[in-house]
Amino acid sequence: MNKRFQSRSRREVLMMGGAAALVAALPFSVNAAAAPLRIATVGAGKMGSELGKLWAKAGHKIMFSTRHPEELKDLVAGVGANASAGTVAQAVAFGDVVVLLVPYGAIPDLVKEHGKALAAKALVLDVSNPIVPRDGEVGTQARAMGAGLYLASLMPGAKIVRAFNAIGYTSLAPNANRTGDLLGVPMCGDDAGAVALASMLVREIGFEPVVVGGLAMGKHLIPGADMPLSGNHTAAEIRQIAATLK
Ligand SMILES: NC(=O)c1ccc[n+]([C@@H]2O[C@H](COP(=O)([O-])OP(=O)(O)OC[C@H]3O[C@@H](n4cnc5c(N)ncnc54)[C@H](OP(=O)(O)O)[C@@H]3O)[C@@H](O)[C@H]2O)c1
């Protein structure tokens, strides 16, 4: 390990803005429990609660947030000592990493309120999807521009990675840390440090990260019968499919 980082926690290095250096310095086998990150979820529904549980189990500190954090008591109690709940503002302030897991229609207002703070994070992990019948005009715009580029246009400078978008929430717990070929997670992003950090977080809960390209590839990371990367695939399958996409 790089000597500069031996005596520093992952959090301290992230606070100094060194996500790429940190990830380069730490082997993927490092135990999260020994060097936990603070992960904030914005949204704690089906997807947010499942991913939060897995990262908490891996040793990270999780703060779940929604518009109604008082309703998250049972979730926090079930996840245990690594979990807490708060308002979105509290979670954004807490997180080294912020994970967005809300209906896409909520994103522009969230960015208006928290965009500056989000843009300062080492990683904004966008699990959300524009679904037109649910998200209306925002969904239409994000589909037209591509989900990754759309979010980047709202938050210039933010270190955005899309991941876990097209894997159903019921597939997470049964496939995390499975034996044999791991379940692949297609992901995309333009910031090398953020992509490396997101890859580490994917690996730590027992999935295989597969970077399929920059944020422009975010238009393919959406669930649906017309989206070949949607659903459960091994890393090898994802690479094969991604090679056919532009
Ligand atoms: N379900 C899946 O299998 C799956 C898989 C991959 C990706 N996704 C995507 O992930 C996102 C979340 O999906 P989900 O299935 O987890 O949805 P969900 O179960 O309906 O949960 C949505 C969460 O977002 C919160 N929320 C909504 N508006 C908010 C706002 N303005 N500020 C803060 N929190 C807000 C909700 O809590 P309050 O209403 O209390 O605020 C709730 O906790 C969606 O974009 C979805 O397309 C879902």
Both tokens of residue 92?
């954004």
Helix (H) or strand (E) holding 145: helix 132-145
Q: Give the domains, in start order, of the chain with CATH numbers.
A: 33-242 (3.40.50.720)
- pLDDT value of position 60: 97
Cβ proximity of 228 and 245 under 8 Å: yes
Count of CB atoms within 10 A of residue 180's CB?
5
- pLDDT value of position 210: 98
**Could you identify the residue written with the tokens 């189990």?**
57
- pLDDT value of position 1: 37
Quick check: CB of 20 below 6 Å from ligand 1? no
Q: What is the mean pLDDT of residues 189-213?
A: 98
Q: What percent of the chain has pLDDT over 90?
A: 85
Quick check: CB of 112 below 6 Å from ligand 1? no
**DSSP state for residue 30 in the 8-state scheme:** S
Residues contacting 87, CB < 8 A, separation 6+: 65, 69
167-185: pLDDT as tens digits = 999 999 999 999 999 999 9
Rounded to the nearest whole angstrom, what is the distance from the C-alpha of residue 113 to the centroid of ligand 1? 18
Question: Is the model's pLDDT at 103 over the cut of 80?
Answer: yes
**Which of 68, 102, 227 to mutate to test ligand 1, by most ligand atoms within 8 A of the CB atom?**
102
Q: What percent of the chain has pLDDT over 70?
A: 86
Q: Looking at the whole model, is its pTM more than 0.75?
A: yes
Cβ proximity of 59 and 31 under 8 Å: yes
Quick check: CB of 107 below 6 Å from ligand 1? no
